Structure 1
């Protein structure tokens, strides 16, 4: 029996085939090519792991990462060559409108995870418990007896966070100095007893990282007041649980900013970080996943 193919049926079959080819091409484009991203240096340990695992599963993709201060990341994002940045804030309404007008489409941004700004002291320091008022006095220079070191002096996310959240917009005192990145902060605190420093918690919370463990006989994580604890005079140090439950006071988000009108490697990498594999990487780096909750199961499977 011969199958007769009518003209409408033929047109339908051709349309289906063409759409399938187009989808296959789009999927291929989303997994191939080079993505240039700039990452806030305070998130370097966990983002190195995200990039490594993603590339191991997408052999036709390439990601060129530059670790910089938050301000420098935003400067890069304004250039055509950088399609994604990962920093500790989203866009303001004014910035969002400006990008929409310049690009002709909206920038996608949102929260991937949460970490903390960890307060560090030398292991031989007399004090490792501070109130927020004491931090205000020290950072403002009203109490200049303690040396303070930050991870840079050109608008890093740590600098911005402390100035906004602790100093409430006031300037830093003359006792506050800048180091060349988070590792330099760790080295300074390890060698200087009468000092405190601030870094992103992913630099000091991963107990499976040998490089981080090597610092723990030289530095300590300081305790700060627990804002939600019922116990009087309760204090907390930065940890995954104290970030999750709001017990540690210096918590901040990790945002992605992506300008990609058509799906490409940036969209594929964002999806990877937003779904189970990427969110588990955040969890294993001892930061708090922002897209998924990995709580203990209470039901029997």
Structure 2
């Protein structure tokens, strides 16, 4: 009798272990434990590194391996099932959703932040205020020299610098400023954000396009160093601004109010078919602690109110 009871208890224990795994008996991740790979648009490396480090610090048995790549490669990872979780600055297109429909998978999208594209120039460049119309001329090749924007400028040919030809910032410019035209011949890719900032810092004629989280967290010594080497361009949505007060830099308050024109959203997209570690991480980033990290970084939290204080004279 005792032998039968012992055998029954052992079977229950084994079934309990197997129930935590898949059909092969392999242990599966949970919302706070296990290991997963995620693909992240490299534009958001600083903020997602902070989120991952904090999440792993709280949940000791969670291990998130983040691969930082150009947007196009992140999308490929998601479509090819190389990852179940991706961090992107856009939602999936209808064609991309159709791929998952064929696989009977329903992707879940969680908005986690409002981001912005920043434009940076060399510290010797006096043209730090541009209108949206002027930007369109630059990115369509109509303005090829700095004199085309300011007749008094002593600088030469404009050089446009992106982090990567396949990056989300390059796509954003094509979608928002060039109406799907090809970028002009005076455009090149630096292949990393650090190299982009370094190039702009060393070349008077350059204008760089970069995600704002690379230059917005002033508690980060790297960001402080970057800020010392470049200038951030103020942008006016008005084609004929009457004063410098009508130009806006990508400060958190201006992004939150919607007056800074080059804004976009940040999403975590998950194709998990169950509540796993990817779902747990997305919930964390969209929750109180994760949103506070986004607030500190200089981006605008998507699910947490931002208090904008106006100072009178």
> Would you say same fold, with TM above 0.5?
yes
Report what 1:35 is aligned to.
Answer: 36
Give the 3-state SS of the residue equivalent to 1:125 in structure 2.
coil
Distance 1:76 1:222 in 2: 34
Report what 1:125 is aligned to.
Answer: 125
Shift of 1:294: 4.0
Report what 1:261 is aligned to.
Answer: 273
Give the 3-state SS of the residue equivalent to 2:278 in structure 1.
helix
Report what 2:150 is aligned to.
Answer: none
Shift of 1:81: 3.4
Shift of 1:97: 3.0
Question: Kindly tell me: are residues 31 and 70 of structure 1, through their superposed partners in 2, closer, same or farther at Cα, counting changes over 3 Å?
Answer: same
Could you tell me which of 202, 208, 216 is aligned with 1:197?
A: 208
Report what 2:236 is aligned to.
Answer: 225
Instruction: Tell me, yes or no, if structure 1 residue 160 matches structure 2 residue 161.
Output: no
Distance 2:227 2:60 in 1: 37
- Asked if 2 retains the 8 angstrom alpha-carbon contact of 1:108 and 1:259, the reply is yes
Decide which moves more: 49-58 or 73-82: 73-82
Decide which moves more: 93-102 or 259-268: 93-102
> What per-residue deviation string (whole Å, max 9, x for no partner) do you get for residues 219-277 of structure 1?
011110056xx986611000111100011100011111101111111011011001100
Report what 1:185 is aligned to.
Answer: 196
Displacement over 6 Å in runs of 4+: 230-233
Instruction: Tell me, yes or no, if structure 1 residue 49 matches structure 2 residue 50.
Output: yes
Distance 2:76 2:296 in 1: 31
Distance 1:268 1:107 in 2: 15
Report what 1:241 is aligned to.
Answer: 253
Distance 2:162 2:308 in 1: 37
> What per-residue deviation string (whole Å, max 9, x for no partner) do you get for residues 105-162 of structure 1?
3110131101110010111102111111211121222222211101111x21000000
Question: Kindly tell me: are residues 195 and 81 of structure 1, through their superposed partners in 2, closer, same or farther at Cα, counting changes over 3 Å?
Answer: closer
- Asked if 1 retains the 8 angstrom alpha-carbon contact of 2:216 and 2:298, the reply is yes
For normalisation by structure 1, the TM-score amounts to 0.85
Could you tell me which of 113, 138, 148 is aligned with 2:160?
A: 148
Q: 5 Å matches for 1:203-214?
A: 203-214=214-225
Shift of 1:25: 5.4
- Asked if 2 retains the 8 angstrom alpha-carbon contact of 1:90 and 1:110, the reply is no
Distance 1:266 1:290 in 2: 19
Give aligned pairs, total.
Answer: 274
Report what 2:4 is aligned to.
Answer: none
Q: RMSD across aligned C-alpha pairs, in angstroms?
A: 2.4
Unaligned runs of 5+ in 1: 1-17
Unaligned runs of 5+ in 2: 1-12, 22-27, 146-157
Q: 5 Å matches for 1:265-284?
A: 265-284=277-296
Report what 2:149 is aligned to.
Answer: none
Instruction: Tell me, yes or no, if structure 1 residue 110 matches structure 2 residue 110.
Output: yes
> What per-residue deviation string (whole Å, max 9, x for no partner) do you get for residues 160-207 of structure 1?
000110111111111111111211111111111111101000001111
> What per-residue deviation string (whole Å, max 9, x for no partner) do you get for residues 8-35 of structure 1?
xxxxxxxxxx9xx89x959973322111
Distance 2:243 2:232 in 1: 21
Instruction: Tell me, yes or no, if structure 1 residue 96 matches structure 2 residue 97.
Output: yes
For normalisation by structure 2, the TM-score amounts to 0.82
